[in-house]
Structure formats: C-alpha cells, structure tokens
Structure 1
Amino acid sequence: MKSALPPKRLLLGLVVAALCTTGCGNTPAKSDAKAASNKPASQEYNPMLWPTLKSPFDHKQTAAINAKVAKLVSQMTLEQKVGQMTQAEIGFVTAEDVKKYHLGSVLEGGGSYLDGDKFASVDAWLAKLDAFYEAATDTSDGGLAIPLIWGTDSVHGHNKVIGATIFPHNVGLGATNNPELVRKIGEVTAIETMVLGKDWTFAPEISVTRNDRWGRTYEGYSEDAALVAKLGKAAVEGLQGSVKDGTFMDGTRLLATAKHYIGDGGTVDGVDRADNLATEQELIDIHAPGYFTAIESGVLSIMASHSSWQGTRMHGHQYLLTDVLKDRLGFDGFVIGDWNSHALVPGCKPDNCPASVMAGMDMFMVPEHWKSFIENTVQQVRDGVIPEARIDDAVTRILRSKYRAGIMDAPKPSARKLAGNKALFGAPEHLELARQAVRESAVLIKNNNKALPVNPGSNVLVVGSAADDIGRQSGGWTISWQGTGTTNADFPNGQSIWQGIQSHVKAAGGKVELKPKGDYSQKPDVAIMVFGEKPYAEWQGDIKTLAWQPGDHSDALLMEKLKADGIKVISVFISGRPLWLNREINASDAFIAAWLPGSQGAALADLMFSDKTGKAAYDFTGTLPLSWPKYADQYEVNVGNADYDPLFPFGYGLSYAKPGKPVPTLNADAGNALDGLVMNTPLFKGRARDPWQLFVEAEGEQVLYQSSLINGKTITLSEADQETQGDAVDVKWQGNGWGQVSLRTKDVPVKFSGHVENNSIIAFDIYRLSKAEKPVYLQLGDTSKSHKIDITMKVNAAPINEWNRLSVDVLCFEKAGLDMDYVTEALSFITDGELNIRLANIQVEPEMADKAAFRCR
C-alpha cells in the first residue's frame, strides 16, 4: 500500500504535536480488565507508536464519579450488569423487557419508526421514551434505578423524524472547511433530537475516505486526515458541548459517538465492511487523527467498525480496542458495537460472542436476539469463559458516561429542558443555518465564459430528474435508512433546488419552467440541469466503477442536445462522492458539485443568480474535500499519494472573485477502464434496485414496499437481516387467499434477451421459517403474459431457519414463450397457503446456467 500522505506528515512527532495537548506523554490508567490478545501470533504491533492523550475531564470530578460507579456496580447482579451491556432495537423490545432485563440502552434502527409510523408525533415519541425510562428506573423487583440511553442516527440533523432540519451530509461540510459552522450544526442537531427526549446520537462519522467507490463516502468529511480531525472535533463539541467553556452536557446537548473505529474508509476496493490493509503507521497517520481530537474533546462513546484491520474483525480486535484505544490513548468512555457486527467475528453469532467481550467491546448492539445474548453471556461468565472483571470494566465505562452526561440524575425524557418544545423543530434560525451550510458546501468546478451568475430576468428552463426532489438532494439516512420512499411532502420545512430557482426568477420578473426531460416550446436563454445519484446508505451504495451512467448516458445526451440547440447549460450535480463524468462536464458551461445539500437545497439558487447589477448576493467558497478523478478507474486518488494525478485536486474550487482558468475540453473516453468489469445485475438487495420496485399484491391491491412495514390481511412484509442490517425482507402469507411479492418495473420494460445469451440465472437467498402448505411459484412476465415455475419442493427441502440459495435459468422463461426483450416482472413469489420466508440478494448472474437449481438447457 502506498503512503497516502507527504513524507513530512508521516512523522509521528508532528502528528502528536498537532493533535495532543500538554498532557501528551502522561500514561493513562490501564483498563480495569484486559482481555487476552486476539491478534495473530505472527503479527507484530507496537502501541508505543500511538500518542498518549489528555482527558479534558477534571480529575477530582472523575474520581467522584468513579466512586459512585464502583458503589453501584458492587450492588448489581451479574444479570443486571450484562443487561447494561445490551442494546435492543425498538421493534424487538417493550418497556416490560427493559425492566425485566435491566437493559442499558435501546435504539431505533435506520429502517424503523416508532410503532411503524414514520409520522409519529413528538408527543408519541416522548410517551414511549417516558415508558422506557420508568421501566428502567423501576425498583419494585429489587433492581437498581439506572436510566437507559436512547440511541438514534442523527447524522445530518435529526434526520429520522419528519419536520426536522436536514443539513448537508458530512462530505458537504468537508467542502465548507468551516469548523465553527460544523460546531453550530452539531448544537442544533442535539437540540432538535432532544425535543423528542432522545439523549444519544451515533455521530459524528470521522472516517477518512480513501476509495470513492465506498458506499459511505458521503458520511466522511474528507480524504484528508487533518481536515477530518478538525471538523470531527467541532462536531463532537457541538453535539456534547465543550468542557472548556462549560457547555458540556448542559441540558441542551447529548452523547456523541465517534465512528467507525477504525479504518473503515480505507478498505480494499472500497468495499464496506471489508479489510483495511494499512500498516500500523498508516493507520495512525491517516485514519486515527479524528479519534485523537474526539477523545481530547471528551467524546463519551466510540463505535467499533464493521470492517477489519489486517484480517481481524474490529469487533474482535483486542489490540486496537483495548491495548490502543483504552490503554494507550486513554479513552475511558465506552465502546459501542454496530448492528450485530460482533457476529462477524469468527466463531460468533448475534447472540453469542465471548471473543468480542474479551476484545474490549462494552455495549453490544443486538437488535433482535438480545435476550439470548444476555443469557449466553451470563452463562459464559459463570463457566469462566469471560472473567467477571471484564464485565465490571464494561459496565463501569457505560455508567461513567451516563454520569458524565447527566443521565443518572436527569428526570424522565418529557420533563427535560428541551423536551416537547416543538417550536425548536425546524426553527427559522435552524433552517437559516442549513441554508448557510448549503451555500458554503457547493463547489464551483467550471464556469467558462462567466456562465454564472445567471440573470434572474432570463427565460430559464430547469431540467433533470433531481431538480424537484428533496429526498434525492438529502440522500441516505433521511426519514428512512436508505433515504428511499420519500416525497417532498415528507419535508414540511424543506425546499427543493427547483423551488429556489423558481423563487429567484419569478421575483425578478423572468420566466421559468420545470421540464425534467428537457422538452420546451420556447427556446430558453439558459437550462439548469439538476441530476445525480439516487439515495443509498452504507453497503448498498458500494459501486464498482466511478463512471457515471456507463451503459446509459441519458444525462449527457440531454445536456448535449440542449447545447446543440444553442442553449447555455448550467449543471448541478447531486452526489455523495466525486464521480467520473467528463462527458457531462464538457456539455456544461458551468458545473457545480452540490454534494447532498439536505432539505434546504433552494439555497443553491442564492449562488447561481445575480441581482439587477449583475452581481451575485453570495459567492462560492466551497472547495473539494475529495480529489476529483481524472479517469473512470482512478478509485484511490488522494492528496499526498506518490502518484497523485487528479482531474481537480483536493482544495480546488472556483469563485466569482477568483474565477481561475477556463476548464478545457476533457477526455471523455473511458478507454479500457470499464473492460473486465464482471458485474452481476442486482434486482433486490435490501431494497429493489432501479428500475425495479417491490410490490405486495393480493386481492386486487398492489402496495409498494419502501423500507417500511406492510401489514396486509393476506401478506405481512417487513425488514429483516441476512448478513447485515436491512439486507433482507421477511414475508409471511397468512393462508387466507392468493398473494404475491413481485419485482416490477416502474415504467418501461427491460430487455432480458442479453441475459439469455449470457447463460444467466436469477438467483436469490431464501430463509425458510415454516413449511409451505400449498404450492409456491416463481413467476416472470413480459408486457402481455407471464410464466410460473413450481418451487414448492425446493422450498420445503431447504433447511428450516437457515439461508439457502436457489436459482432459475432465465432461458426457462424464454422457452415458455415470454418476450425477453420486454420484461416487466423480473421475479414474483406466489402462494395462497400459509408460508413464512425471508428473501435476500436477488440478482441476475451471468454464465451460471449450468449451476441453476431449475435448468432448461
């Protein structure tokens, strides 16, 4: 692996000097219980390479808290201790469970809502949190009154709840290079989250993104460690407050979580949850600085990564979790796991992982199987597999953070300082802060011939599929986990980019119309093209090429048509990462990288239009937080690399004040970059993939599944897990009539004849929870007819409660007479009897026909 930083920044002494305070060199206290090493015997590590950090907390106050914690821990039963180490998901836990099992935390998963209602009110949330608080502090059964903490993913505002202020994602905030702005955004996010009584967010993401194919690229601030460290510090102090200025956990702040420890932004090929092969020194210099500043800012929790370092899963990495993080760096908060990620540790399952406990994990995110996790862990302590001292260490860390956060002395959620203050939700000053963030995050890539700013009195045509779509401009982790299934109505305080343009032009007396496909009756003076990525989150956003629309080019074709008509083209590109779109940049007179601006996308128009004097009210100040690729296969183009050769470098950004040189015509030939890319065609993986949609159909009704529960009379469909959070669906036929789950196109038919020629199969993973009482069919259809195949025998032969992969040769459907050039139904599962299965990973796989479970050749 090549060094990703200049030689002068590889000097550990400079890193330490820049990121440590005067306390560097002080030896922190060792962990209360140190696990046996989980590193490979042949691996040589050196904790002395890492700096020692200074805690911001007063020693006397910490000693007083430690005394309280020690007294409390001494009174707890083993069951109560393990309960504190356990975090259950709201869909799988009740208030009575909290009381009975002494749970330390509850979370709402990325794809879940309060009682399945995404429109749940502030009052409903507070009532639920009050019930859980009262259960946790109920001592009638002899337990101890230890309030739980409620975890949520407020990662760009309180983005899970309708009406909240949605800020740009971190990649956009990286483009602002404005720590004070990031601090204020953290503060507002804390305020709006606490209106609902919640007290813990899984933010900020301080990953350093090194490969832009990674699906979480937009969750990190930058490829540059120094910028990540600076903005990560600001985010932590915004969310939690600052110990130095007395705002720390002052009733308007909540617990922050630095994540994902460590190196998740540097995995091989940018694959989420994969392996980071960096040397230890590279890990320190590139991926660790954000944790140094977070720890010295007093971050109360750190989340372990799904990924691995040098072959060892982070949730089982004793060296990095205990030897480095806790002992060397001196972090005395608690380490929280990610969604069932301990199950990825060899020999572990979601409800059984002593190796992860021993490695140094303190609180386990066990969404569904938390009861058996508690039972197994308690038994492992009694059997001597896990020393109780390790349990005591974990609980001590959790309780210490609860005391520091004021949770132990806080009233019930509805009685807290900000709770129920609905005027704070999407408050005008919060929205204005979001608009400021949008303006500061946009990066002007090209502005040839001073195409910008636009005279608002012009005839303006707005085109592109993303122009009037607030969910699209907000990206993943917005209302739903993947950011899908939203409409503009889900953003009552939001404004689309189109609305901003419309407002400016109408105010100036110009003419403006929205025509997404570019059709117009009167030739406009200028066309503003708004396009880009559709929402995605984490692993579902992993891609194999940076080339934009490699097999389509519909956006480029539209822009080239407008340009050929003599129309000036201004492009606004919505994305969570830089992509290779030289053809589209060539077709643009001006090109803006808008990232994922959030609910206040209208603020982009503030930058694009002039006043009557021809001067814009706001200038562009955003600069690239990630280097822009020159080639379609330039996946790792990071500042400081020995072979650094970007199209536009880190820190690049034009402005009206400093227009720079015109961008010349770029090479739009991908060359051999796309050759050899063997890509299966995904149909469904956690969600339906374009152009497909997942429907539940029964009794003449058709309901679209959009990452939410469908509770019908005939079929119930809900989110489920296979390898990770939300990558499957659970389907239950009630046995009271015919019903099917179908992948159908949204509009035009899809050509499948190429799949026949490529000897392709449609494959899927199935997890059988019950026996099929009546025939089960697979069905594929064209525009006029369909064909089904009986799969009952294969379904019932599959082991119960285990995943099994089935497949069918695509040729089977052509032989049945279907027109494979016009497929509208990719796959349906049909029965009229009782059946409960889970489905995942549905895709077309080439050159696999000879291995299909159902063959026709």
Structure 2
Amino acid sequence: MLSPTFAEPARAQTTPERAIDARVAAILAGMSLDQKIAQVVMPDTASFSAADMTQYRFGSYLSGGNSGPGGDERAPPERWLALADANWDAAMAPRADGRAPIPTLWAIDALHGHNNIVGATLFPHNIGLGATRDPELVRAIGAATATEIAVTGIDWTFAPTLAVVRDPRWGRTYESYSERPDVVAAMAGAMVEGLQGTPGTPGFLGPDKVIATAKHFLGDGGTGGKDQGNTVASEADLRRIHAAGYIPAIAAGVQTVMASFSSVNGVKLHGDKAHLTGYLRGGPGVHGLGFKGLVVGDWNGHGQVPGCSVASCAASFNAGLDIFMAPDSWKPLLAATTAQVKSGEISMARLDEAVRRILRVKLAAGLFEKGRPSSRPLAGKVELLASADHRALARRAVRESLVLLKNNGNLLPLKPAQTVLVAGDGADSVAMQSGGWTISWQGGGDLTKADFPHAQSIYGGIDETVRAAGGRATLSVDGSFTAKPDAAIVVFGEKPYAEFMGDLDTLEFHDDYKSYKTMQRLRAAGVPVVAVFLSGRPMWVNPEINAADAFVAAFLPGSEGGGVADVLFAKPDGSVANDFRGKLSFSWPNGPMPAKLETPRDPGTLFPFGYGLRFADHNVVRPLRETAPIGQVVNTRIAILGRAGLPAAWSMSLTEAGSPPVPISSNAGQSQSGALVLRGIDRDRQEDARLATWRGVTNARVAVTATRSLDLSAAGQALVIDLRVIAKPTGKVMIGVRPAVAAGDKVPDGLFADVTALLTNGPGTWRTVSIPLRCLGPRAALRAVDTPFVIETAGRLSLALSDIRLAPASGMVLHCPTQSR
C-alpha cells in the first residue's frame, strides 16, 4: 500500500490518455459559454423537467435520497430507465445554435447496493464490510452494485464513503469501513475497482460498470461526532488518518471526488483551495495526491462557504470545485456563475479547466458512444436486480460481517431441530435491518415488506433454517409465549436514519428498556437468550449484553437476513455450519461516551478494535456495569424535534378536529383531510427543518409524543423553539404540552400558552422563541408529561420549525403571569 503521506509518482501519459485529451480539446473549442456553464451545475430530478434539460443542457444531474421518478420513491426500475431516456433525449436534441450537444451524466447515492430501487440487492453497510476485513468480497460487491445500477441507465454513484470515523456519535458512522485508516485504505481501492473496473483493461468503465466517487474530501470523520462539523487536526494527521482511503482510490482510477460539507481547522472544505486544489491535485513535489478527475460538491454545500449563498459562490469554484451540486438552486446559480465569468471573478481559464475535467470523465466512461440509456447492453434487464448470484454474495457478506461479542456457556451455535422463539422489533423488518439510504433517504418510516420483494428478514431466515431441520420457529415481537421455547433470539436496535438525522449526544442505546425487559423475562423463565443487535455504530448496551447469554453485533446487514441464521445455527448433525469471522472495525464503548482511540487499555473501551469471538473460544463476559462511568455526564437538555429529527422511538402526529391523529413516519405528511400539511425543508442542511402549513379549515395540531412520561416540573425550564414565520397567523396560535393520564381517566386537552404575539412579526428570518413552562400551568401538572410539544390553530399559518427543546429560556421570551408554585 502507498504511504498515506506521499502520492503515487506521476505517470507518463499513455496513448489512450493523449487521445482523450485531444478529443477534449476539440470539444471544448466548439462550446459556447452557456454550454460550459451548464456543465458545472448539477440539479436534482425533483427540481427540473425534460423541458428544462432541453433549454439548459445540464452536464449532469442527480436523484437525491427522496427523488424518485415523478416524486415516487417506490417507482419500478422501468420508470427509472424511462427517466434516464427522457433526460438523455432532451440533452442530445439538436441545438438551436447548431452546436454539438454533449451527453449528460446521471448520479445517485448507491451506498449499499442500488439502494434506491425497489427489488435491488441490499448489501451490508460499510461498517459491516469493514468487519469482514475482506477486500475481495468488497470488490465483488462493487461489481454487483455496478451491474444493478446499469440496469436502470444510471451512470454514476456517489460511493464509496472513505471517512475514517473517530467518533461514532456521527450519524454517518455506518457509511465508514472503520475507525482505522489501514482498514479504510484496504477497502477503498477494492470498492472503486469493483464499481469502475481496473484501469488499463478493456473492461474499465464498460457497459457493466459505473463511475465511482471517493467522498467526502477531507476529514469528514474527524468532526467530533457532528455532521458537517469541524475537524481540528494537524496536516500530518489529516494525511496519515483522513486521506488514507483516497490514495488507493486514486491509484484505482476513481473518476470523481466529492467535497465534504465539513471544515478543516475552521475552513469549509467547499472553499478550501489548499486542500481541494493544492493537496488533492498536487503532485509528489508538494506531497499531493495527483488526482486528475473532477471534484463535485455536496448538496448545496457551496452555500456554506463564507460570503456565498446557494445561488452564488465564485469562491467555491475558484477553490477547486468543478461541479456545483445545486439540487434546487440551479437556476439562479447558472445566472450568477455566468455573470462571474463575464466579469472575470471566475476566469475563463478556471472554467475551461473544470469543463475539461468533466469532459475527460465522460469520454473515459464512453458516454459519447454508449448512446441512449435504454439501448445499452444491460438496460432494462430487471432479472439482474437481486439475481441469485447477487443475493448469494450479499448473504455471504452478512455471514462474514457478524461479530460475536458474548457467548457465555458456548450457547452458540444453536441446534436447529428445536423450538425457537424470535422476538424484537427488528426480527421481521427488512427496513430496520437495512438502515438508512434504503429506498428513501432516511430509510425505515412507512416501508413495509411489500417494498422488499426479493428480500428475507432475519426471522424469515431463522424460520427457513429451523423448519428445514425439523424444528419450529415462532415470531413473537414482545417475547410472550404459551409453550416454553428451547431458545429465544431477540433482534433489536436502532431505527433507520441517515446523515445528521443520526447524530447523537451520547452512545447510550435506549428503546425504553423494551428489549432489555423482554430478555430478562425470557431468562427468568429459563429460556436461553441470543441477542442480535442492529446498529449503525457501536453503542453502550451493557444492560442488554447482561440480559443475554450470547450477543451478536449484526450492524446493518441489508436484504439477506438469512445470513444471520447461517451462523447462529449448527448443521442438523451438530457440526458447525458457518463460524463467526467478523472482527470489530470500531472500538466498542464501556459507557455512553466514545472510547478513546489509540489509548491502550482505555477503561472506556469494553471490546477493543479487532475483537470478535469464534465458537471455539471460551471467553466469559462477566456482568457489566450498567451505570455511566464517573465523569461521563449526559446532556440534560431534552431535544424534542432537532435538526436530526425526533429522539429514538418518539413519534409525531397531525390531528384535525373530529378526526383521529395521523402518524408522521418521515419528514412529510398531512392530517386526515389535508387541513394541516407538513414537509421537510432546508435550513442549513438537507431537510433539517419542517414546514407546517395550516389552511384555516378547522382547528389542527402538530404533536410530538415521548416514549415515556417526562418530569418537566424543574424550575427555570422553557420550551425553546427555532422558527421562521412564512405566513403570519390569521387566528390564535397555542403552544403547550399534554400531561400523561392513567387508563380510564379523562384525557386532558393539554396545557397551553397563547403565542400569537410571538408570531406576528413574520414573514421573517429564523429566530429563537421561548415559552417558560411556568406559563403552562402549576408545577404539579408538569410532573408527568407524555406529549412535550403541541402547536395548534384554527386559522391559517405557515411556520418553519427547526429545533424544539426543553432548556433554559433564550431568544424572544413569552411573558406570562407569575404563578404560585
């Protein structure tokens, strides 16, 4: 492997490279300014039409996690291919100016298989692949993924993620192969070659391959667990740790690199010329990486550069960005960039440099020769989606990624010819075992079995294995039973999330102790318990480990849940069918805060990097501490609706007068008749805020409900809300909480304060308002609250909400009468 500090020596150009450069020069010479500008702006399919493509001729476009054809996340593969054709036809139609049209590229986030497509193979997320330590397996997964992408006519995937995650509280931890740079480096080149093929061979970027992306450059895994945060590191550590995956990826011929949302030492990467141009592009003389492909931005990431907006950012382009990812800001950005080139703020030489790189990638990918997407060799061959070979590969990956953390009494492997109870909310949920970036951006939500026509849940795999051996498996989510089983398998863990929606303050797992109590009841009944934990990161689960006889970290295995049963059960004759092979790619914490990396015998580490038992091991995991270590203080602020969404297992609903509540399982929805509509909007990041619109038809409310009663009686607390008034209220607006009630008691409507006066200054900018809890009622009434946020009105109102929490008052504070406590 190449040194993480020094790039591969510069190579002499080969004949094919010289031919490509000559062709690029010829194409560039015939392009107008408008054509060049169009090459560097990438919109999202949700924000433009084929007519827009005909008019503007975008050089590339993407479909974000929630941007299926026609807004349908569940669109069949045929509709994806039809969309590819429609945009290709629009891009390649004869131009009014007579100039030669240029093919367009379609990009998508295919992070663990072709994960946006219903019916595609879903492989384990990268955290599980890192546990396999098997680059050849990763290479095969890249190749299978590329084949399935080609079926739908898409050219480019924004993968692999090469973050070296140093703090697993980050919501993108599962996209990383490991906390160790050597593991990330070992997987990086293999995945790139799987997706693109091997440079210099006839199959490179051939009909069964797609363009890969190394992301997010640079240091995205070092931000202290905060998405789009700041990595503070020396240049030596940036190169030694965070650049480790880019060296083999570039050596493997990766065609594109995506700039990170995050910052390095306070400088936003989207505007960091020293790293985007100097280090990434520089040759051996400056200890650079020698990258020759194109650099694409992340979702409106250029708008975060100081002095920029999503509609205008010469600074980012001049720093080294070649393509603006402008999902919904493309139109003003086209105009602004054109004006900046004409004024000289962006030089023509810099624009030509970016366009030259884009054209080079298109020619390397054979885009000018491939023709209309549906005419390509694999296009429309839907039988390749979740083919038998691909499913077998995914099942093998599941087997090799599982890590055995505890096996007291050598309970595993289980005998299959017995009665097995399968419990837990993850047992029969392909959505939960697949995690985020699955059909939709966040995954989970309202996804059902029907959305996974070729998949098998973990319970499905167990049932198949046990029945084949003459045993019996029973699904009981809560663990209840009438006849005592011989053994129980409890499958539980994190609900799906993606990006900042998964950021955590601590690594403490909590589902209101539901799984813990289920396992305790089973063991109290004399039933041996195997815990299968689904998560996108290592977590503090000491109580759950204590409650189980055996504990398996399954991470996010994807669509082939049968791979879990392959390892949990012996052959019918009692011999080992498949031993555990996975080794932790992340240190497992012994408290709610992350383990200290590279600290030998750190007491905050329960299971070190590389830990993983096999059946022959006789390690006994003794009872673990179930309270936080001294000094690990958990944040006392209670987030109700943060930019990362709701707390785990909390729920949101929309209700209008006379109708039942409508649960909201994603960022969007409406009350029963549509009197109240909710959707996700961007504040600083993709869909990190909610826009609620009351239409004035009837009284309607938004409510957030907790998993258990909260004591809100502490003095000095307030409901603190970041909001922006889009359309002022036409009626009284009330905000409050709803106390919990015992069964049979009359349900109180809630404790409210009139906040109309706080909302009459709109439309306006984002601001913080606070409603002291003393405004809502006597302290005694706040000692058991199960719905800590309600907002309602009978009038019209359009209100953006971004961060709702219980905390000391700040910003604009509602004045209320002093009440006796």
Alignment TM class, shorter chain as reference: over 0.9
Report what 2:609 is aligned to: 650
How far apart are 1:819 and its partner, in Å? 6.5
For residue 41 of structure 1, what is the aligned residue in structure 2?
none
Closer, same or farther in 2 for the Cα pair 1:856/1:273, shift >3 Å? farther
Q: Provide the C-alpha distance between the structure 2 equivalents of 1:87 and 1:482, rounded to a whole number of angstroms.
A: 22
TM-score under structure 2 length normalisation: 0.92
Mark the CA change 1:61 to 1:723 in structure 2 (over 3 Å): closer, same or farther: same
Which residue does 2:377 correspond to in 1? 417
The one of 20, 23, 27 equivalent to 1:68 is 23
Inter-partner Cα distance in structure 1 for 2:250 and 2:146: 19
* Counterpart residue identity of residue 759, structure 1: G
Which shows bigger deviation, 332-341 or 106-115? Answer: 106-115
User: What is the CA–CA distance in structure 2 between the aligned matches of 1:777 and 1:366, rounded to whole Å?
Assistant: 37
Measure the CA separation in 1 of the matches of 2:441 and 2:521.
36
Structure 2 contact 770–811 (Cα < 8 Å) conserved: no
Deviations 1:603-639 (A, max 9, x none): 2011111223211311111111112223433x24335
Q: Identify which of 67, 70, 86 aligns with 1:115.
A: 70
Q: How far does the alpha carbon of each residue in 1:69-126 deviate from its partner, in whole angstroms, 9 at most, with x for none?
A: 2222222222322211111111111112222223122111123322221221222222
Asked if the contact 2:509/2:541 (under 8 Å) is kept, the reply is yes
With over 3 angstroms needed to count, the CA separation of the structure-2 counterparts of 1:836 and 1:388, relative to structure 1, is farther
- Residue aligning to 1:720: 681
Distance 1:805 1:582, change over 3 A: same
Q: What secondary structure sits across from 2:120 in the alignment?
A: coil
Residue 639 of structure 2 is matched in structure 1 by 681
Report whether the alignment pairs 1:291 with 2:246. Answer: yes
Aligned partner (choices 364, 371, 374) of residue 331 of structure 2:
371
Residue 693 (structure 1) shift = 2.8
Quickly say closer, same or farther: Cα 1:671–1:537, change in 2 above 3 A: same
Give the residue type in structure 2 aligned to 1:836.
S
Distance change in 2, residues 1:251/1:285 (3 Å): same
Aligned partner letter, 1:726: E
Provide, for residues 447-506 of structure 1, a one-character-per-residue CA deviation record: whole Å limited to 9, x for no partner.
122101111222222222221111111111111211131222221111111111222222
Instruction: Give, in angstroms, the shift of residue 824 of structure 1.
Output: 3.9
C-alpha displacement at 1:244, in angstroms?
4.3
| Alpha-carbon distance change, 102 to 856 in structure 1, aligned in 2, over 3 angstroms | farther
Do structure 1's residue 443 and structure 2's residue 400 form an aligned pair?
A: no
SS in 2 for 1:757: coil
Give the alignment's Cα RMSD to 1 decimal.
2.5
Match of 2:2 among 5, 10, 19: 19
Contact kept? 1:175, 1:442, Cα under 8 Å = yes
824-833 vs 285-294, which moves further? 824-833
SS of corresponding position for 2:386: coil
Give the aligned residue type for 1:692.
Answer: W
Compare 500-509 and 353-362 and name the one that shifted more: 500-509
Whole-Å separation in 2 of the counterparts to 1:641 and 1:392? 51
Aligned in 2, Cα 1:818/1:75: closer, same or farther, shift over 3 Å? farther
Report the secondary structure of 1:19's partner residue: coil
Relative to structure 1, the CA distance from residue 850 to residue 219 in structure 2 (aligned partners, 3 Å threshold; closer, same or farther) is closer
Give the letter for the 1:435 counterpart.
R
1:496 correspondence with 2:457: yes
TM-score, normalized by length of structure 1? Answer: 0.89
Q: In the alignment, is residue 265 of structure 1 matched against residue 265 of structure 2?
A: no
Match of 1:757 among 675, 696, 714: 714
Q: Structure 1 residue 716: deviation in Å? A: 4.2
1:839 paired with 2:797, answer no
Aligned match of 2:496 = 535
| Cα distance, 1:246 vs structure 2 | 2.8
Instruction: Determine if contact 1:532/1:575 at 8 Å carries over to the other structure.
Output: yes
Q: Return the letter of the residue paired with 1:827.
A: V
Check if 1:809 corresponds to 2:772: yes
Shift of residue 251, structure 1, vs aligned partner: 0.7
Q: For 2:450, give the aligned amino acid.
A: A
Cα deviation 1:163-200 (Å, max 9, x = unaligned)? 11111000000011111111111111111122111111
Write the distance in 1 (CA, Å) between the matches of 2:11 and 2:132: 27
**CA 1:582 to 1:725, structure 2 compared with 1: closer, same or farther past 3 Å?**
same
Change (3 A) 1:686 1:741: farther
The amino acid that maps onto 2:403 is: V
Aligned to 1:158: 114
Residue type of the alignment partner of 1:126: L
CA distance in 2, matches of 1:641, 1:798: 56
Q: Cα distance, 1:668 vs. partner? A: 3.3
> What 5-or-longer segments of structure 2 have no aligned partner?
284-288, 740-746
Cα distance in structure 2, aligned partners of 1:851 and 1:836: 19
After TM superposition, the structure 1 = structure 2 runs for residues 658-669 of structure 1, keeping only pairs within 5 Å, are 658-669=616-627
Mapping of residues 455-470 of structure 1, within 5 Å? 455-470=415-430
Aligned residue for 2:762? 798
TM-aligned CA distance change 1:666 to 1:159, over 3 Å: same
Return the offset for 1:241: 1.1
Residues 454-463 or 392-401, more deviating: 454-463
Q: CA deviation at 1:586?
A: 2.5
1 CA distance for matches of 2:814 and 2:532? Answer: 47
Aligned-partner Cα distance in 2 for 1:741–1:348? 37
Fraction of identical pairs, as percent: 40
Counterpart AA for 2:498 = A
| Shift, 1:212, TM fit | 1.5
For residue 561 of structure 1, what is the aligned residue in structure 2? Answer: 521
Which of 195, 209, 226 aligns to 1:253? It is 209
1:770 aligns with 2:727: yes
- 1:183 corresponds, among 125, 139, 144, to 139
Aligned partner of 1:476 among 436, 452, 456: 436
Picking from 299, 312, 333, the partner of 2:267 is 312
CA distance in structure 2 between the aligned counterparts of 1:850 and 1:387, rounded to whole angstroms: 44
Q: Does the 8 A contact of 1:339 with 1:367 survive in 2?
A: yes
Contact 1:228 1:290 in 2 (8 A): yes
* Pairwise CA distance, 1:324: 0.9
**Alpha-carbon deviations, 1:138-173, whole Å to 9, x = none?**
233225411211111100011112111111000000
Once the two structures are superposed, what CA deviation does each residue of 1:829-854 show, in whole Å capped at 9, x if it has no partner?
A: 43443x43332222x22232896335
Deviation at 1:822, TM superposition (A): 4.4
Counterpart in the other structure of 1:84: 39
Q: Is residue 131–residue 582 contact of structure 2 (8 Å, CA) maintained in 1?
A: yes
- Structure 1 residues 851, 239: closer, same or farther in 2, change over 3 A? same
Q: Distance in 1 between matches of 2:11 and 2:80?
A: 34
Deviations 1:761-787 (A, max 9, x none): 223332333343444443543433235
Task: Give the 3-state SS of the residue equivalent to 1:239 in structure 2.
Answer: helix
Residue aligned with 2:369, SS: coil
Work out whether residues 751 and 777 of structure 2, in 8 Å CA contact, stay in contact via their aligned partners in 1: no
* Contact 1:56–1:298 (CA under 8 A) maintained in structure 2: no
| Shift, 1:213, TM fit | 1.4
Deviation at 1:275, TM superposition (A): 1.2
The within-5 A match list for 1:688-707 is 688-698=646-656, 700=659, 702-707=661-666
The aligned amino acid for 1:479 is: I
Deviates more, 1:483-492 or 1:277-286: 483-492
Q: What do the CA deviations read for 1:380-411 (whole angstroms, capped 9, x no partner)? A: 22222221211111111111111111122221
SS in 2 for 1:555: helix
Residue identity in the other structure for 1:271: K
Describe how 1:496-645 pairs up with structure 2 within 5 A: 496-549=457-510, 552-633=512-593, 635-639=594-598
| Deviation for aligned residue 1:815 | 4.9
